[in-house]
Amino acid sequence: MGSYILKRLVSAIPVLLGITVIVFAIMALIPGDPATAILGSYATPENVEKLNRDLGLDKPAVQRYAIWLWNMVQGDFGRSFSLNRPVLDEVLDRFGATLVLAGTSFVLCSVVGVAAGVVSAARQYGAADRGITFAVLLGISIPSFFLGMMMILLFAVRLRWFPASGMWPIYGDRHLWVLLRHLTMPALALAVVATGVVARLARSAMLEVLRQDYIRTARAKGVPERGVIWRHALRAAMVSIIPVLGIQAGFVLSGAVYIEMVFQWPGVGRMLVDAILKRDILLVQGGVVFVAACYVLFNIVVDVAQSLLDPRIKT
C-alpha cells in the first residue's frame, strides 16, 4: 500500500507541473506590459523596475517560468499588492474556511447522494424512486447561488433559524456550535447540485450491479434483500461511484466560489473574485495554483480509497 501511495504521488508531479505551465500560459495572455498589469494603480516607474527585476519579467518566457516555479517550490508565491502581504499567507488563511465549507458539502453530497441513489434503485419505479428522481432533477437545475439567496430569505430572514452570512459572528465566542450554525446553509446550498449528480450516478450504478450474476448468487444463498442491496450491490457499485466522487469534489470546490460570495464566507473563492476585480494578478495566480494542487492531491486520496475498496486493482 505504501509503495502504491508513493507511486501515485510521483505520478502527480507531471500533473502539478502541467498545472503551473497552464496557469503561466494563461497569465501570458495579459495584454500589455505584465509588470504594469500586475501593479495596476501601483505602477510607479520604480515599482515596475523592481518587479521586473524580482520576477524576471523582462526575460524570455522560459526563464520567467523557471524563476516563478522555483520561487513557488521554495514557498514564495509572490506578494499581493492589494493586501500588501505574501500571497501564500493570505491563501493559507482563506483556504481553511474553504476547506470547512467544501469538505462538509462533499461529505454531505457523498453520503446523501449515494443513499438516495441506492434507495432509488432498490425501489425502482416506486414512489420513493419517483420522488428522488424529481428532487434530483430540481437539484441539478437550480443555480447554487440562487438557491443560496432563497435560503437566506427563508431560513435567515423569515424563520431566523440561521445567520444570513459569515463564518463567525463579529462579536462572541468562536466555538463549534456557532460555526455549525453559520455553516449549515452554505454547506447545504453548495451540496445540492453535487448530491443530485451523485444520486443519479449511484442509481444507475446500482441498477447495473443488481443485474450481475453475483447478486443472483447472493439471493440464491438466502441473503435477505437488505443485505443484497447494501452489502453486496452497494459495495460493488462503489467501484464506479468513487471516481465520480473525485470529480464531484472539483465541482464542489468550484461551486464554493459562488456560495462564498452569497454567504460572505471568508474563503479562497471570494478572495479570488475580489483579487480579479482589483486586478491583483499575483494573488489570483498563486491562489489558482495552490487550490488546483490541493485538488490533484485529493484525487490521489480518491485513488487510494478505490484501491482499498477493489482488491483487483494492482497496488
Partner 1 sequence: MSFLALLARNRLALAGLVVMALVVALALVTPLLPLADPDVTDTGNRFLPPFSEGALLGTDHLGRDLLSRLLWGTRLSLAVGFAAAVIAAVLGAAVGIVAGYYGGRVDNLIMRGVDMLMAFPYILLALAIVAALGPGLLNALIAVAAVNIPFFARNIRGITVGIAHKEFVDAAKLAGMGDGRIILSEVLPNVIPVIVIAMSTTVGWMILETAGLSFLGLGSQPPQADLGSMLGEARSALITNPHTSVVPGMMILVIVMAINLLGDGVRDALDPRLRSGALSRPMAATMVRREGPVPQPEGEALLALRELRTEFHVKQRVYRALGGVSLGVRPGECLGIIGESGSGKSVTALSVMGLVASPPGVIAGGAVHYRGEDLVGATYERLRSLRGREIAYIFQDPLATLHPLYTVGDQLAEAIRVHRGVSRGEARSRTLALLRDVRIPNAESRLDSYPHEMSGGMRQRVGIAMALANDPQVIIADEPTTALDVTVQAQILSLLDTLRREKGLAIVFITHDFGVVAQLCDRVAVMYAGRIVEEGPTQAVLETPAHPYTRRLIACVPELGEGKRVLHAIPGLPPAVDALPPGCAFAPRCDKAAEACREGDVALHGGARKVRCLFPETAPETDPETAAEAAQ
Q: Within 110-139, which residues bind partner 1 (CB under 8 A)?
A: 121-122, 124, 137-138
**With binding defined as CB under 8 A, does residue 272 bind partner 1?**
yes
Among 42, 70, 161, 214, binds partner 1 (CB under 8 A): 214
Q: How many CB atoms lie within 10 A of CB 239?
A: 15
Among 7, 13, 216, 301, binds partner 1 (CB under 8 A): 216
**With binding defined as CB under 8 A, does residue 97 bind partner 1?**
no
Alpha carbons within 13 A on the beta-carbon side of 93 = 12
Least distance CB 264 / partner 1 (angstroms)? 11
**With binding defined as CB under 8 A, does residue 105 bind partner 1?**
no
Least distance CB 173 / partner 1 (angstroms)? 26
Among 98, 101, 291, 303, binds partner 1 (CB under 8 A): 291
**With binding defined as CB under 8 A, does residue 227 bind partner 1?**
yes
- Which of the stretches 59-67, 107-115, 180-188, 214-222 binds partner 1 when contact is defined by CB under 8 A? 214-222
**With binding defined as CB under 8 A, does residue 211 bind partner 1?**
yes
Among 62, 73, 127, 277, binds partner 1 (CB under 8 A): 277
Among 254, 300, 305, 307, binds partner 1 (CB under 8 A): 254
**With binding defined as CB under 8 A, does residue 262 bind partner 1?**
yes
Q: List all residues 6 or more positions away from 300 whose beta carbon is below 8 Å from its beta carbon.
A: 5, 8, 9, 12
CA dist 259 → 18, 166, 188, 203, 266 (Å): 28, 11, 10, 27, 10
Angle at 125 between CA 122 and CA 137, to 5 degrees: 95
Q: Which position has the grid cell 481553511?
A: 96
Q: How many CB atoms lie within 10 A of CB 179?
A: 14
Q: Are 274 and 112 in contact (CB under 8 A)?
A: no
Among 152, 187, 241, 242, binds partner 1 (CB under 8 A): 152
> Closest CB to partner 1 among 60 and 222?
222
> Closest CB to partner 1 among 66 and 137?
137
Helix or strand run (H / E) with residue 106? helix 87-122
**With binding defined as CB under 8 A, does residue 302 bind partner 1?**
no
**With binding defined as CB under 8 A, does residue 43 bind partner 1?**
no
Kindly report each contact of residues 172-181 with a partner whose C-beta sits within 8 Å and lies 24 or more positions away, as own/partner. 179/100
**With binding defined as CB under 8 A, does residue 219 bind partner 1?**
yes
> Closest CB to partner 1 among 48 and 152?
152
What is the rounded CA–CA span in Å between residue 74 and residue 131?
A: 53
The grid coordinates listed for 285 are 495566480
**With binding defined as CB under 8 A, does residue 99 bind partner 1?**
no
- Size, binding site for partner 1 by CB under 8 A: 85
Phi (first) and psi of residue 80, to 5 degrees: -85, 125
Site string for partner 1, 17-36 (x = CB under 8 A): -xx-xxx--xxxxxx-----
Residue 224 falls in which region: left (phi positive, over 0), alpha (psi -120 to 50) or beta: beta
- Binding to partner 1, residues 155-184 (CB under 8 A): 157, 164
Among 77, 106, 162, 251, binds partner 1 (CB under 8 A): 251
Dihedral sign, Cα of residue 282, residue 283, residue 285, residue 289: positive
Angle at 61 between CA 59 and CA 62, to 5 degrees: 105
What is the rounded CA–CA span in Å between residue 141 and residue 260?
A: 20
Q: Are 238 and 45 in contact (CB under 8 A)?
A: no
Site string for partner 1, 54-83 (x = CB under 8 A): ------------------------------
